[in-house]
Every structure is written in C-alpha cells, then in structure tokens.
Amino acid sequence: MPDSVLNDRAPMPDDFISTEPPHGGVQRLLARFGGHAYDLHRHETYAVGATLSGAQGFRYRGAGRVSARGQCMVLHPDEWHDGRAAAPDGFLYRMVYLDPDRVLAALGGRGPLPFVGEAVAEDAGLAALIDEFFATFPDPADALAVDGFLADCAGVLARRAGLATTDRAQPLARMRRVKALIDAEFDRTLGSEDLERESGLDRFETARRFRAFAGTSPHRYLVGRRLAAAHQRIARGEALAEVAAGTGFADQSHLTRAFKARYGLTPGRFRALVAAADTRS
C-alpha cells in the first residue's frame, strides 16, 4: 500500500493523518495539512481522492497541479508526486489507494490498466463514490462495501481513460433476486459471495448491475434496510444496544454514526423527540 514519505519539518498545529490497514486491496486515508505535506514519493497503487476544503498543490508527471475544494485526483501507480498547501488555510482531503490487480479484476480481468491523463478534474460522480465509501470511516469498511467501491471506481477510471466497456442488457430478474436476498436477510452479515450466488455474476459485475437497477450500491442498500428497521424499533422505545444487535450493526456506536448520516440526528435524539410527541397526544 502507499509508501508515503513525510518530510521532517514540524507539523502545523492542525495537521493530521487518519488512515487504516489495507483491506481487500483498498486503503482509505483522511488528512489535513497547513503547509508542506509530502516530499517526492510514489505508490505501487492507484491514488484516487477528493479535496474537501482549501487547495493542495503537487508535482506529478513533470508538471505542477492544484486540486481545489470539490475537485478529484487520480494518480497512476508508480508515478512520483509530492504535496503541499496551495491555499492560506491549507487543505483537507480524502484518498483511496487501490491495488492495480484489484482494479483489473473489477474490469473483468482485461488489460491494460486504465491511465487517466487528467490528474485533477471536476468529477461529481467520482466525488460521490468517495463520499459514500467514507460514510463509516474510521470504522472498517466491510467486504461488500469494498467490492462495490472497486466496481464503481474501476468503471470511472476506465471511462476517464477512454477504454471501451461492454454494455450488456440489464439482468433484471437476477438483480431482483439480489434485492430480495438483502430485504430478507439484512440483519446478518452478507458478503459478495452471497450476492454472487443469487446473481450468477461475479462480485464486481453484480455491484455494477445492482447500482444500475436500484440506483445505489448493494452495501448502501443493505445499510438502508438496516436503518429502516432500526428507525421503527427505536420509535417503539427499544434500547439502542438491542436495536443495533438486532438490525445487523456491529455495535451501538456504529448504529449511531450510520443513523445520523442517514437521518440527520442521533438515535437518542430521535427517540426523545418521538417520546415528546407521545406525551402531547
């Protein structure tokens, strides 16, 4: 995974790096820098990221680049680059490092690796994928979320690289079976292999086709079903720890983060508001 080289200067007061161990050929990173961030270095992975605030400058393939707020970056494996703030208030960004062999697998095992010449660009679709993939960060992403991100991101890289992709008819019956499985068994751990058995397709094709069918990834649809069930049980006054355990969440804190991201308030506040309404009736 990334072999980033920090310079030996003292960090700015608000500088930080939050990262995780690689999982399934994927690693996420969230970081902020107010000045010089990285000396020249390179990764054996793709680096796909989004700038959340400020602007970051870097040298890449012999030219200076700047990624401002709302823009996305795509760096090819084994390419030298550095990093520094390009705005007075520094920069905050997310980055996902992807093993090239996993990208190829997500594209059906067909080469060559997609090369994206435009290292910095406005790409709302890619930004949305990264935002979705970081919804649980720093909690570990489960295997279903990793496979879904790989499928979607590999498709974006292929499109940006101008590689031809096969446009097959949507297998509606297969995707209905996948959806029915998630609807029925959202409260247990579901992996890509479970969805593969229902679809008869590999995990990456399943993820791509499900998004086209349902408008969201299998993992996000699964979390949505869990949250819908949790919403009802919390409204009935059940204990939050019991709700989390009964709807497929790892623990109460995991439920709380997912619930707030979806509904805009914590489970505790939602329960208090429901109770307040009950006392008025």
Quote the CA–CA distance of 161 and 74 in Å, as a whole number: 11
**Contacts with 263 (C-beta within 8 Å, 6 or more apart), sequence order:** 227, 231, 270
Quote the CA–CA distance of 230 and 23 in Å, as a whole number: 28
Tens digits of residue pLDDT in 63-117: 999 999 999 999 999 999 999 999 999 999 999 999 999 999 999 887 788 999 9
Quote the CA–CA distance of 118 and 50 in Å, as a whole number: 14
CATH 2.60.120.10 range(s) for the chain read 16-161
Tens digits of residue pLDDT in 110-145: 778 899 999 999 999 999 999 999 988 988 898 999
Does domain 16-161 bear CATH number 1.10.10.10? Answer: no
* Alpha-carbon distances of 16 from 51, 59, 75, 137, 144, rounded to whole Å: 15, 21, 22, 15, 28
Residue 26's SS3 state is: strand
pLDDT recorded at residue 5: 44
For residue 138, say if its preceding peptide bond is cis, omega within 30 degrees of 0: yes
Does domain 222-280 bear CATH number 3.90.330.10? Answer: no
CATH 1.10.10.60 range(s) for the chain read 222-280
List the end-to-end C-alpha distance of the chain, in Å, as a whole number: 57
Average pLDDT value over all residues in the chain: 89
Tens digits of residue pLDDT in 140-189: 898 999 999 999 999 999 999 998 765 555 678 898 999 999 999 999 99
